[in-house]
A and B are shown apart, each in its own frame.
Chain A
């Protein structure tokens, strides 16, 4: 497994990581996927989840919410709306994120009373967030 891809993780505020990686697990909107060298070019949106990167310099995890990933044979660029390295994830940040999702859900429920679509989407967003919390052992309450 000598081949690597160039992995970049950027949030609007800064470049979080730019390293060589063997494989990158991405929480895609339609399911998780793992990108390795020579992956077919793909652009996918993200759901809140855990991004796992393993490369020559070890393995690292990030919590990402929203955004998208661009995968080509040689590089993987993840443009996340919010990205925090897992070890920097505190209960407070997580709670703020869950609260934001809860707010959005309440807002959607109010605005789209007769349209289940947006409400379901927001509910899924919140559920995804909570699932992330379970995974890393944090709870919003």
Chain B
């Protein structure tokens, strides 16, 4: 039987753990609201952007001279996987789920004989990918300095990706992130960003004929790199909300578990204390009887 002092210490330690997880849960809840707001606010831009993009892409059609960001390089050999995760852990399966999806996809591509390159955003993803696919890593973008996610951050990542595309390092780029469904469910998602995926756009109304200024080609050339940044920005925001949501529910669970543990330990403590008292009484009584 563990002695009383040890039990008391354990109870105290679990209690302070509970305080920490409780505090983390509340912080995550507050951050979640902000992250959700940010994601909400960014939605109109993405929607409109895709709508215009769809119109443009439809009007350029599959012309042979369509920009490479839209039509692709004509090959499908080298895939760049951009794995976006959080900088911090303690958020349940959030980072692991994204990494798992990315690994699964990487294994699939490798089995098909394609070349895989991995660019990680966020420390946790880098650590997770390094274990099995370290040799494919081509870079890492550190987000730990970023306090409040802005479009400029997404532009930075997009610039990095585009630079590699322009120098012919890969044919297809995909981003991995977590789509925020609600607090208890975040769905790891893969989205193709290069070449531009038309299926994201949905139904295009081709009834109205637009004038373009300058011409379609020039606008597309201007828009496509922005499209990459926009997709990445949307993914980062979804990721931000997902991370906080995952952390909130993970910490909620941890708090509850700590509570249960405290209850159990307290019962054990009281029982041992009772046993000690009983023991002492028996000793006194039997001592008195012996006289």
Contacts and interface: CB of A to CB of B under 8 A. Distances in A.
**A and B bind:** yes
A12 interface: yes
B186 to A, nearest CB: 22
A96 B204 CA distance: 38
Interface stretch (A36-44, A48-56, A122-130): A36-44
Contacts of A41: 208-211
Contact of A79 (B38, B49, B218, B229): B49
Interface in A44-77: 44-45, 67-68, 70, 72, 77
A10 B56 CA distance: 19
B29 to A, nearest CB: 22
Nearest to B226: A81
A70 B233 contact: no
B219 A12 contact: no
A72 B208 CA distance: 9
Given A11-B45, A12-B151, A79-B49, A43 B208 contact: no
A8 interface: yes
Nearest to A46: B222
A15 B47 CA distance: 12
Nearest to B234: A12
A28 interface: yes
A88 interface: no
Contacts of B48: 8, 10, 70, 77, 79
A21 B63 CA distance: 37
B222 A68 contact: yes
A30 B211 contact: no
Given A68-B219, A68-B222, A81-B226, A29 B213 contact: yes
Chain A interface secondary structure, helix, strand, loop or mixed? Answer: strand
A43 B211 contact: yes
Given A43-B56, A45-B222, A79-B49, A13 B214 contact: no
B210 to A, nearest CB: 4
B150 A13 contact: yes
A45 B12 CA distance: 63
A42 B212 contact: yes
Given A45-B219, A70-B52, A13 B213 contact: no
Contact of A12 (B56, B154, B210): B154
A13 B48 CA distance: 13
Interface in B186-235: 208-214, 218-219, 222-223, 226, 229-230, 233
Given A13-B42, A40-B211, 19 more contacts: A10-B45, A11-B45, A13-B38, A14-B42, A15-B41, A29-B214, A30-B214, A41-B209, A41-B210, A43-B55, A43-B212, A44-B213, A44-B219, A45-B214, A45-B222, A68-B223, A70-B210, A79-B49, A81-B151
Interface of A: 8, 10-15, 28-30, 40-45, 67-68, 70, 72, 77, 79, 81
21 contacts: A8-B44, A8-B48, A10-B44, A10-B48, A12-B230, A13-B42, A13-B45, A15-B41, A41-B208, A41-B209, A41-B210, A42-B213, A43-B52, A43-B56, A43-B213, A45-B219, A68-B52, A77-B52, A79-B45, A79-B49, A79-B52
**Complex A-B, nearest 8 residue pairs according to Cβ-Cβ distance, in ascending order:** A14-B41, A44-B213, A12-B151, A41-B210, A42-B211, A10-B45, A15-B44, A41-B208
Interface of B: 38, 41-42, 44-45, 48-49, 51-52, 55-56, 150-151, 154, 208-214, 218-219, 222-223, 226, 229-230, 233
